[in-house]
Each structure stands twice: as structure tokens, then as C-alpha cells.
Structure 1
Amino acid sequence: MKRLIALVLIAAGACPAGAIGQKDAETCAPVYLTFDTGHMGVAPLIAEVLKRHQVKVTFFAAHERTQQGDGSLGAHWAPWWKARAAEGHEFASHTWQHAYWRGDLAPGGEARFRIQPSAGPQAGQRLVWTAQQYCDDLNQANDRLAAVTGRRPLPLFRAPGGKTSPRLLAAAERCGYQHVGWAPAGFLGDELPSGAYPNDALLRKALRDIRPDDILMAHLGIWSRQDPWAPAVLEPLITGLKARGFCFRTLREHPQYQAWIKAHGG
């Protein structure tokens, strides 16, 4: 942790004297921090960091297997989601079964997709879904988020792994969802092996490369990473970016999605 803090101080010291600290809301450079669900083991710690620094984010939720409780959108975690809604965060679908797109079928006919869920009773199976089945899975996560938060989620979604095709995106848009990926520098690396990609290296890269309007992506817990990214990197990342004149916004305020959200009742 001392090394992480030192990196933040170095990054802050590189700024002009008048630039240290978060700029006025009218002039700061926005970035958009997003979290996808995961095992939820670090979710309480992430929530504490976000609340301490008054940072609002957008959560993309699927019903994934968790370290505690009955899944990330189950009854055990419902109070956690409701508390995040009360704090002003935004929410969107990540598909219900964390369903990976693996390919398109029947290019000349009805849209069908090769799908492989990583959660739920069909986890690991190779399936073929129609466009309507994919939309149903998006809707199930969306409806559950509305139920546990008491707020209408944004009409956006993130495909697991960010894997899509033009046909999949078109199918999702027909049922009211626009896809959200992330900026190259916004891939924060929390799902990479910690031996090859230690936390201090991930922090250093993010502080160096993130630019205004970037969408950033991390997770609420990754099973395979031995040295958890959050909250070790999250707090110095937030303070380091604020020191460079950045501020944090939800996707409701992102210029690329504002018109879509307004048109689709978000």
C-alpha cells in the first residue's frame, strides 16, 4: 500500500500547482467508472471507498456465483444494491446468466447466436439463442435490478467480456438496450493474473494513460486473481485521478448515451 500511495503522490506532483485537487464541477475532466458483478467479496469495501470519496459509478449486474449468499442479484445482496441506489449510483444489465456471445448463426435468416452462460444452471453449456431469448436474459437482470434497488436501470447493457457482433448489438437495440464497452486505458486489469500484473503496475498504467471521457471497467471481485485489485488500487486511483483534474460521472451523463437514455425512458 505504501508503494501505491507513493505512485499517487508522484502523479500528483507532475501536475501544475493550480491543478492539484479536483476541479470545479463545471470545468473538471469527466471519466466514467463502471463495475461489473463478480464474486462480490470486495463489494462492501468498494462501496466504502466510493462513499468516502463521493464518487458515483454505474454498476452492470448479472446473477453470478458469489463467495457469500445466493448469487450477486439474490436475496443476500439485495440490501447492498438498495444502499447503492440510495447513494445515487446507476445500474444496468450485464445479462442474467452472464451469457457470453460466442458467434452468430444463420446470417441470412432470423438472428440466432451461440451463447455460453457462466452462471446459473446452464453455466458452461454451449447454447443457441434467438434474439428474443437474448433480450429475455437482458430483461431478467434489468427487472431484478429494478426490484432490489427501487430504481429504473439505465437502458444500457454490457455483454460479458465485452464480446458482441453487429447482429447482437442490433438485436439488443431493438429490445431497448445500447451496449457500453470501455476505453483501452479504461481496462483496469483486475481480471489479469496478479503475478504478471501486480497492483502497483496496474495503478501506474491507469494514472498514466486514462484520458477525459474514458469509460473505466473493473469488477466486484474476480475469482482467479490472487492479490485482489480492489480496494487496494481503487482508492489511490480515485485520489490520483482527482489530483490530475478528473472527476467521476455516471453513464447517465455520458454524451454518447444521453440521447438514447432520454429516448428510452431512462
Structure 2
Amino acid sequence: MSLASPALAESVCRGTIYLTFDTGSQSQAELVEQTLRRHHAHATFFLANEKTVKGDYTLDPSWAPFWKALRADGNAFGSHTFDHVYALRDLPDGRIEVRPQFGPEAGRKQAWTPQQYCEELRRVDARFQELTGAPLDPLWRAPGGKLTPGVQAAAKACGYAHVAWAPAGFSGDELPSEKVSNAALLKRALNGLKDGDIFMAHLGIWSRKDPWAPAVLDPLLTGLEQKGFCFATLREHPAYREQFMRHAPSPERGKS
């Protein structure tokens, strides 16, 4: 929750906002971490192995301390597909046409079986366990939010629930800053977010010239707190509680 005392939070919280962040260029990663910690706010992070402004990739060993620190703070983590794979369409033979953004097949259309898509989601889980000693939560988010019935069925079959975002929860950090200012994005979020909404932003966007997080994140959390909102991970979201009960990791799987 966003307030340090659970008893106090219960008495003053008028609603809950579920903050989520997808990997990206990572240009704002440390700032996001610091801002969340300052507000005692928890969030859910969706991880793909994306190229960063440091010249490495988000799931390289160099990022292990960052993910470990976020985990220690009580945040949740889901899969965003390892190579940030866009789903394009379902094929007549039961396979799925996809296009990875990173990895050896970057930019090339592929025809995957449902099992191959499942394995792509699980690659993130395996790497996260290597880096942190803990498994992912049973959640995923499709790159670009692009879904097909085949992709949804494949992910569900291997134990992942998809997480989208509320209309008011679109941060707009992917929009061109010369057309949509940070001030406008902040105002829209503060005016539009309501109890139970899932909010989505990134840990850095390559194309936005005026970065979103430095100008928006801290005043957004402050403004939401002033309205009586608290923050929680998707582990506490009513729509995903049953998912966590069904797919709770064994004690052995989560050992560090």
C-alpha cells in the first residue's frame, strides 16, 4: 500500500490504483524505483529482454541488483515475452503468426505453435529466477497489448493470466511529446483514474523526447494520494486473486 501503516491505510484509503510498468529503454528505471519507494507504493512489473540505454539488455545479469531490489520492496512481476514478441494473427493450421522485436529473429515474422508461445512466456520466468532466486507471478502482458484468441488460449493453458489496463490507465508515455505534453498526460490521469483501475507506463521509451517519468510520476502519485488512493500489486486485485490461488509457487520453487 502507499501508506506505511496497514491500519492507517485501511482507515483512510478511498480506493486502490494498481500501478504497472513494462520494461523499455530503462532510461527511467532507477527514477521509477526511487519514486515508488519514496511513496511506499507497490507496483507490478512486466519483463521482456529489451535493449537499454546502457547498451545491455533488461534481463542481463547487470540488471539483477535492480530486479532484486524491487522484489525486496514487495513488488510483483509478470512476463512480457522474452523477445518482446508481437502477436499478429492466428493461422488456419492452429499456429500463431508473431514478430519478435529482439533476439535472433528480430523483425522477422514467425509461425509458432501454442506451445512455442508458452515457452516464450516461460523464458522470462526462468531468467528471472536465475537473476533473483524467485519465480514470476502467474501474469503476463502482450507487447503492444496485441492479443489474438490463439495467444490468449496458449498463455492460459500454461498458467498465465493476461493483464491489460484501464482506458484512463494509459499513461501516454509512448505518445510524441511534441504533440502531447507531460502536463496534459498528468492532468488526464489525475482526472480519469478511479478505484480499481490498472495504470500502465514503461521504464523508459526511446522515442519520447521529453521523458514521461521525471515530470509525471511523482506528482501523479502525490495527487492520487491526496485524493485518498492507495497503491497495490496485482496480487491484491480482485480479478487475479483466484489466479494466484491456483498457481501459487511451491516453497522450493521460490527459494533464493
TM over 0.5: yes
CA distance in 2 between partners of 1:170 and 1:214 (Å): 24
Q: What displacement does 1:69 show?
A: 4.2
The one-letter code matched in structure 2 to 1:26 is E
Q: Pairwise mapping of residues 105-254 of structure 1 onto structure 2 (< 5 A)? A: 105-106=91-92, 109=93, 111-254=94-237
Q: Which deviates more, 90-99 or 143-152? A: 143-152
8 Å contact kept, 1:39–1:66 = yes
Retained in 2: the 8 A contact 1:69–1:76? Answer: no
User: How far apart, CA to CA, are the structure 2 residues paired with 1:24 and 1:217?
Assistant: 27
2-structure distance, mates of 1:85, 1:149: 8
Corresponding residue to 1:25 among 2, 6, 9:
9
2:24 corresponds to which residue? 38
1:65 to 45, 51, 55: 51
In 2, Cα distance between equivalents of 1:212 and 1:24: 18
Give percent identity, aligned residues only.
Answer: 53
1:24, CA displacement in angstroms?
Answer: 3.9
Q: What is the one-letter code of the residue matched to 1:235?
A: D
Amino acid of the structure 2 residue aligned with 1:173: K
Cα offsets for 1:196-253 (capped at 9, x unmatched): 1110000000000001000000000100000000122000000000101110000000
Aligned to 1:231, what secondary structure does the other structure show? helix
Matched residue SS, 2:106: coil
Deviation of residue 143 (structure 1)? 1.4
Distance in 1 (alpha carbons) for counterparts of 2:151 and 2:186 = 33
Question: Does residue 102 of structure 1 match 2:95?
Answer: no
Contact 1:91 1:145 in 2 (8 A): no
Q: Secondary structure at the match of 1:148?
A: helix
Count of matched residue pairs: 242
CA contact 1:69–1:77 (8 Å) conserved in 2: no
1: distance between equivalents of 2:117 and 2:9?
Answer: 39
Q: Could you tell me which residue of structure 2 aligns to residue 9 of structure 1?
A: none
TM-score when normalising by structure 1:
0.88
Structure 1 residue 119: deviation in Å? 1.3
Q: Distance in 2 between matches of 1:54 and 1:251?
A: 16
DSSP-derived class of the 2:104 partner: coil
Aligned position for 2:247: 264
2:187 is aligned with what amino acid?
A: R
Residues 80-101 of structure 1 deviation map (CA, whole Å, 9 limit, x = unaligned): 1111111111111000000000
Q: Structure 1's 93 and 177: CA in aligned 2 closer, same or farther, altered over 3 A? A: same
* CA displacement at 1:149 relative to structure 2: 2.2
| CA–CA separation in structure 2 for the residues paired with 1:93 and 1:45 | 22
Using the size of structure 2 for normalisation, the TM-score is 0.91
Please identify runs of 4+ aligned residues in structure 1 that moved more than 6 A.
none
